[in-house]
A = this chain, B = another copy of it.
Amino acid sequence: MNERRGPGGQPLLFLTDEQLRRGIEAMFFAYRGFTADPDRILQKHGYGRAHHRALHFIRRSPDTTVNNLLSILGVTKQSLNRVLRTLIEDGLVEAKVGTRDKRERNLALTDKGVELERELADVQRERMRLAYRDAGPDAVQGFRTVLEAMMDPDMRRHFNRLMGPEE
């Protein structure tokens, strides 16, 4: 299938609305699976997904500022602030006053924060690892390619910026 080729010699994709709809439903159901394991752990600690996201990206970019986190997460500062406050109160996140600019807060995980983040990341990575294993290497490549193409340009910029020099 899909053997016909367009002017540039690239294979044309003849995707029916029905096939596209299945992709949409796949995203819906898969995202549920994607969040299911962390959600269970978070519930035991009395946290929600918003806390998970904060922990994830703080660990990912230590000493990041609140503003940077805001633009990654795409929520209002008031919304993020509430989550950050509880994480700071509970001793999972440390907010140090910025050195250059005292208005800024440099956010970092404490040992306790690292511990919870690792617990969450472990189960989520394991789910991802099993899915990758079942699907095989070629599928993994395609998976990431389509996901990246689905992002808004701003988000794609964040996504690529988060990638370190490794790989």
Interface residues of A (CB under 8 A from B): 2, 10-11, 13, 15, 17-34, 36, 53, 56, 60, 74, 121, 124-125, 127-152, 155-156, 158-159, 162-164, 166-167
Main secondary structure of the interface of A (DSSP, over half): helix
Shortest CB–CB separation between residue A62 and chain B, in angstroms? 14
Shortest CB–CB separation between residue A72 and chain B, in angstroms? 9
A142 touches which of B27, B143, B158 (Cβ 8 Å): B143
Evaluate contact between B33 and A150: CB separation under 8 angstroms.
yes
Evaluate contact between B162 and A25: CB separation under 8 angstroms.
yes
Contacts of A142 in B (CB 8 A): 135, 138-143, 145-146
Evaluate contact between A26 and B124: CB separation under 8 angstroms.
no
Evaluate contact between A129 and B36: CB separation under 8 angstroms.
no
A159 to B163, CA, bound (A): 32
Evaluate contact between A132 and B30: CB separation under 8 angstroms.
no
A142 to B135, CA, bound (A): 7
A141 to B27, CA, bound (A): 14
Contacts of A29 in B (CB 8 A): 147, 151, 155-156, 158-159
